[in-house]
Structure 1
Amino acid sequence: MGIRSMTGFGRAEGRVGPYDVVVEAKSVNHRFLEVSVRLPRDWSFAEVAVRDRVRGQLQRGRVDIAVSLAGTGAAAGQVYVDWALVDALVEADQTLCHKLGVPFDPRSARQWLTFPGAVSVRPAALSEEEAVSSLGDLVNAAIDKLVAMREREGGDLARACAGYLEDVAAHLRAIRQRAPASVAAYRASLLARVSELGISVDDARLAQEVALFADRVAIDEELVRLEAHVQAMRSDLERAEPVGRRLDFLVQEMHREVNTIASKSQDAEISRHVVEMKALIEKLREQAQNVE
């Protein structure tokens, strides 16, 4: 198992006491782990347990957990009729018919069941301990599916990053090969300029100037560090534990080293490789931001 992305979705259905329940889990990029939980009314007692289940399986990302009841009505509770209210309404109906001199139709009495407060559905009895346990199992099932999706996307991210790293390494090899030639090119340019001006320059003075230039444009240390960062990122892409923050750090350090090479180098070919590496490292940064 390799890296995971921070984007995923999972869904689970099951019973929690007398209720049919659906749990949906969604996650997107976030610097830290942020968990949002939406529960049915009167189920707030389960929020802490749900959050703990999520934190037990995920380390980064904004995670939204939505718990909803699949059914309503008598199946989800007990029907309660306020017969005293209904009886009073029917009696009032009979009295009104008598005053108006019209016959009372007993069949019309059913209409009073629709009167506000006459009929209600009371929630079915639910043990909090049973609810927390059963709901926690459904949350785990939804998170398992979310994690499976994050692992599949993580595989895609790892392959993309590996390709970008291979390209960065190729540019590094080209720069390392070109670096000595850039000093020789500077020496040749300096000699040509001296010849053009028709002046004589002491060989020792010329050698000193070339040595100073070579020291100013030396990028060996930057290349070594950049190569180490590339290798470290390759290793991290194979790890099972969350490495998103490490990848963020490595990308920042790679940017730093490439910018230093850009500021030191005065060679057009090296500058071209630097531009290409900057573009590749930016792509790595975009991918790393979605790694858990």
Structure 2
Amino acid sequence: MIRSMTAFAGAESETEFGNLSIELRSVNHRYLELSPRLPDDLRSFEPQLRETLTARLSRGKVDVNIRLKSAATRSASLDLDEALLDRLAEKARVLGSRFPAMNVDFTSLLNWPGVLCEPSADTEGLHAAAANLLEQALAAFIAAREREGERLAGFLNDRLKGIEEIVSSVREHLPEVRKAARARLDQRLAEIKQPVDPGRIEQEIVLQLQRMDVDEELDRLASHIAEARQSLDTSEAVGRRLDFLMQEFNREANTLGSKAADPRTTKAAVELKVLIEQMREQVQNLE
């Protein structure tokens, strides 16, 4: 199933480390560009995060926002380094006689490096919790991309059907176009007063008809339609391939228009360009 590059998903969980939440949001981009925003406690989780996303996504600018609201019990912990406090108290006693006006309040003392002991963080456990939640968010994110991709595939298949109908219509009236073109050439040649070599006349008629012949363009359009449909049925990332196909579609439509010897063919070339441009705009959204 093809995927869109535009999607949003998130996941949230209450863990022993606090409330953990992950949001994934992506927009169109030529390549895969990851922009993670992680809390300080999860900075070292970034390589694992990038590896996980790179293995599952191919294209798109993906913003990853991870939030961790620490548990109250952890933030309320006030374990103190008693030995350090004793050394600071001794220094304060020694310096007290030299600086009688010196005054140290309790809050300032707690801010002294090392006085307030932070509980040792379970980095491995926190990373495991983040990895588990990332898998949940990523599964929802990919599902959202696939739903949007399915909608886009329906849109593109409708346009392919329209192109196929135009190609079929041009094929149907092609014999009539050739007959009318031959009649016009015969009429012009009949208006020539001077005698002309019949062999040369036939050769010129063949050349003129070849210049107006669009069978090759119609065949290539049919081939592009088949390839586009095959691409839409695959589970691989097909955005770049379809983008290239749109260029090929447009090239054939332009050639068809330049060779048009009938108003119906000219109109068909214009209608083809409209459908191809509609497809090209939506193909830009595919992974």
- Following superposition, the deviation at residue 199 of structure 1 comes to 6.6
The aligned counterpart of 1:24 is 23
Would you say the 8 A contact 1:32–1:59 is kept in 2? yes
Equivalent position amino acid for 1:212 in 2: L
| Distance in 2 between residues matched to 1:70 and 1:128, nearest whole Å | 15
**1:185 equivalenced with 2:162 (yes/no):** no
Instruction: List per-residue Cα deviations over 1:180-199 (Å, max 9, x = no partner).
Output: 32222222223344556767
Equivalent position amino acid for 2:40 in 1: R
> Aligned residue pairs: how many?
268
- The TM-score, its normalising length taken from structure 2, stands at 0.81
Equivalent position amino acid for 2:29 in 1: H
The aligned counterpart of 1:233 is 228
| Distance in 2 between residues matched to 1:216 and 1:10, nearest whole Å | 55
Would you say the 8 A contact 1:175–1:270 is kept in 2? yes
Q: 1:140 aligns with which of 135, 138, 142?
A: 135
1:22 is paired with a residue of what secondary structure? strand
The aligned counterpart of 2:38 is 39
Equivalent position amino acid for 1:34 in 2: E
**1:149 equivalenced with 2:148 (yes/no):** no
Q: Structure 1 residues 121 and 232 mapped into 2: Cα distance closer, same or farther (>3 Å)?
A: farther
Q: Structure 1 residues 60 and 124 mapped into 2: Cα distance closer, same or farther (>3 Å)?
A: farther
Which structure 2 segments of 5+ residues have no match? Answer: 90-104
| Distance in 2 between residues matched to 1:185 and 1:123, nearest whole Å | 91
Task: Report percent identity of matched pairs.
Answer: 37
The aligned counterpart of 1:62 is 61
The aligned counterpart of 1:91 is none
Would you say the 8 A contact 1:37–1:65 is kept in 2? yes
2:58 is paired with a residue of what secondary structure? coil
> For the aligned residues, what is the CA RMSD?
3.0
Report 1:151-230 matches (<5 A). Answer: 151-194=146-189, 203-230=198-225
Q: Is 274-283 or 115-124 further displaced after alignment?
A: 115-124
- Following superposition, the deviation at residue 48 of structure 1 comes to 0.4
| Distance in 2 between residues matched to 1:122 and 1:29, nearest whole Å | 46
The aligned counterpart of 1:267 is 262
Instruction: List per-residue Cα deviations over 1:107-133 (Å, max 9, x = no partner).
Output: xxxxx7777966999765322222222
| Distance in 1 between residues matched to 2:170 and 2:218, nearest whole Å | 8
- Following superposition, the deviation at residue 70 of structure 1 comes to 3.5
The aligned counterpart of 2:97 is none
- Following superposition, the deviation at residue 280 of structure 1 comes to 0.6
Would you say the 8 A contact 2:42–2:127 is kept in 1? no
**1:8 equivalenced with 2:7 (yes/no):** yes
Would you say the 8 A contact 1:73–1:121 is kept in 2? no
The aligned counterpart of 1:103 is none
- Following superposition, the deviation at residue 82 of structure 1 comes to 10
- Following superposition, the deviation at residue 45 of structure 1 comes to 0.6
The aligned counterpart of 2:99 is none
2:234 is paired with a residue of what secondary structure? coil
- The TM-score, its normalising length taken from structure 1, stands at 0.80
**1:131 equivalenced with 2:130 (yes/no):** no
The aligned counterpart of 1:256 is 251
Would you say the 8 A contact 1:244–1:288 is kept in 2? yes
Which structure 1 segments of 5+ residues have no match? Answer: 89-111
- Following superposition, the deviation at residue 81 of structure 1 comes to 8.0
